[in-house]
Amino acid sequence: MLRYVWIVIGILMIGIGAVGILLPGVPTTVFVLVAVWAFTKGNPEWAARLETHPVFGPLIEDWRRHRAIPLSAKIMAVSMMATSLLALFLWSPLPFYGIVFIGIVMGLVAAWILCCPTARPSDRSAASDHRS
């Protein structure tokens, strides 16, 4: 039964990560890393497919080897979170305290991303330059 819980978590994380490709402010990288972790526990075959994916594979490898995030992914994630927070502030019907809460969460995520080591281009394959 627990195996299916891990699979559901992995599928949800891939789904949220896919949304992150389309919507600014939703980081794809974090959700892909959580998905491969969950799939490793629930369905190693699916984890292997993510690990060999031309876009996500190098990202996962960077994380596993160096606990590193590419500079381009850091810049994209933090700038998209900042843009999304500004859009929420200007156009959202949420109460101010809701926007402040979201801002705090985004700030903590941004701080964590920025504190992680930055993957050097020499640490990655050429295919990894095009990931998000």
What is the average pLDDT value for the chain, to the nearest integer?
86
pTM: 0.67
Residue 102, pLDDT score? 94
Residue 121, pLDDT score? 63
pLDDT tens readout for residues 61-102:
888 888 888 888 888 889 888 988 999 999 999 999 999 999
> What percentage of the chain carries pLDDT values higher than 90?
48
Q: Is the pLDDT of residue 46 over 70?
A: yes
Cβ neighbourhood burial of 18 (10 Å; 0-12, 13-18, 19+): middle
Would you state the structure tokens that stand for residue 128, as one six-digit string? 């990894």
Helix (H, G, I), strand (E, B) or coil at 9: helix
